Amino acid sequence: MNQGEIGWDLFHRERELVKVLFNLERRGLPYRSEESIAAGFQAELEMAEIEKTLPFDPSSKTDVAEHLKSCGLVLYKTDKGQDQVDQPAITRAIEHNIPGAEEYQRWVKLQTAKGLWYFGWAERAGTDGRVRANYRQVKTWEGKDSAGTVSGRFAVTRVQVQAIPNRYQIPDGYPAMQDLVRPEPPKRLYEIDLSQAEMRTVACLAECEPMLEGFRNGFDAHDQTTRLIWGIEPDAEEWDRRRAVGKRLGFGVIYGAGVKTLAAQILQFTGQDLGEEGVRELWGQYRQAFPPTVHLQPPNGADRRQNPNARPPRRKSTTVPPQRTHVQSVQRHDSRRSGRRHVRRHGRD
């Protein structure tokens, strides 16, 4: 297939995609706004009750920071020299049994659910009871209000229907957002997901034999990461905990996350505080286990400082194991930025 044929093929595919996105925008999702608003008011009342018990103003990060420091907790600083009152800090405060730490953690969770989801989605619902997102297929302009991504990965504005919060992000005793998105009978709601599309595409583009071997043997990417880094099998007692970290580690590496960001994500999504040194050690082990995959990715901060002009070697094309993925063959790109862009594009297609 010559370049002209490839161009027209992409054009027709993108045109069909535009039609799909237009229909998604027009139709929207059925949303139970009344239940959502009721949950928001319930959260508001509970927040007011929690505030009465706290020895500080939870809406003021400065007050929270002063309280934590007065109880002996050391806070990290931001780049601007301000105290960091983030989830890792609150987790450490709870571990040190600092008064009000657990209550403050729930207050923050309630505040997020109330403003961002319960009230936020309900306020944007149409008169027909449906919420609608604005899809951005590509990056269309620069500046403060720019939308879309240069990689071609979908972005949405207005209502974030691409990232409906997981149940663990919702305070206990409150309705999950998935339960508020309900179809009108007799229609049904289906969830369709292509398992680990990004990881399979990366393994193919990078010709990462250790990862491809795992796919061929019936393991998924996170299973293979856990097996090679920790040397354990699925019947091990610590398998689930390790695999949860391995999942975040794999995604963090292929999308170029730095050590600090990766440590925060592991804590947020798994509840395990490994610290930056622990994550840096795991990152090195991942590099040893899957070197071709790491070479494909955009360099993190440490790599850029060591060699700003680093580029991976050229490689020939490769073929994905046909029994494991729908992508038959892809051409490797020799720049790390192109690699990430292709991960997102192939994962979407």
Backbone angles phi, psi at 78, to 5 degrees: -80, 175
What does the pLDDT read at residue 257?
Answer: 83
| Residue partners of 180: CB distance under 8 A and separation at least 6 | 31, 32, 35, 36, 121
Residues 154 and 291 in one domain: no
What does the pLDDT read at residue 46?
Answer: 98
Cβ 104 vs Cβ 58: under 8 Å: yes
Residues 213 and 172 in one domain: no
What does the pLDDT read at residue 84?
Answer: 87
Residues 45 and 168 in one domain: yes
Residue 29 lies in a domain: yes
Distance separating alpha carbons of residues 209 and 158, to the nearest angstrom: 42
- For the chain, the domain total comes to 2
Residues 126 and 174 in one domain: yes
Question: 283-298: b or e for each residue (b if 16 or more CB lie within 10 Å)?
Answer: beebeebbebbbbbbb
Residue 86 lies in a domain: no
List pLDDT tens digits, range 109-131. Answer: 999 999 999 999 999 999 999 99
Residues 49 and 31 in one domain: yes
What does the pLDDT read at residue 63?
Answer: 96
Residue 92 lies in a domain: no
Residue 72 lies in a domain: no
Number of neighbouring beta carbons within 10 Å of residue 68: 24
Residue 49 lies in a domain: yes
Domain end among 168, 192, 216? 192
Distance separating alpha carbons of residues 8 and 2, to the nearest angstrom: 10
Question: 200-229: b or e for each residue (b if 16 or more CB lie within 10 Å)?
Answer: bbbbbbbbbebbbebbeeebbbbbbbbbbb
User: Range of 113's domain?
Assistant: 18-54+100-192
Residues 204 and 342 in one domain: yes
| Residue partners of 29: CB distance under 8 A and separation at least 6 | 130, 131, 132, 161, 181
Residue 117 lies in a domain: yes
Domain end among 192, 225, 248? 192
HEC letters along the chain: CCHHHHHHHHHHHHHHHHHHHHHHHHHCEEECHHHHHHHHHHHHHHHHHHHHHCCCCCCCHHHHHHHHHHCCCCCCECCCCCECCCHHHHHHHHHCCCCCHHHHHHHHHHHHHHHHHHHHHHHCCCCCCEECCEEECCCCCCCCCCCCCCCCCCEEECCCHHHCCCHHHCCCCCCCHHHHECCCCCCCCCCCCCCCHHHHHHHHHHCCHHHHHHHHCCCCHHHHHHHHHHCCCCCCCCHHHHHHHHHHHHHHHHCCCCHHHHHHHHHHHHCCCCHHHHHHHHHHHHHHHCHHHHHHCCCCHHHHHHCCCCCCCCCCCEECCCCCCCCCEECCCCCHHHHHHHHHHHHHC
pLDDT values of the chain reduced to their tens digit, one per residue, 349 residues: 566 666 777 788 788 888 988 998 999 999 999 999 999 999 999 999 999 999 999 999 999 999 999 999 999 888 788 898 988 889 889 989 999 999 999 999 999 999 999 999 999 999 999 999 988 877 766 666 666 676 667 788 889 888 788 888 899 999 999 899 988 788 888 877 777 888 888 888 889 999 999 999 988 899 999 999 999 999 999 999 999 999 999 988 887 888 888 988 888 778 788 888 999 999 999 989 998 887 765 554 444 444 444 444 444 434 434 333 333 233 333 333 444 444 444 444 4
Helix 209-216 to helix 197-206 angle (10° resolution) is: 130
Name the pTM for this structure.
Answer: 0.66
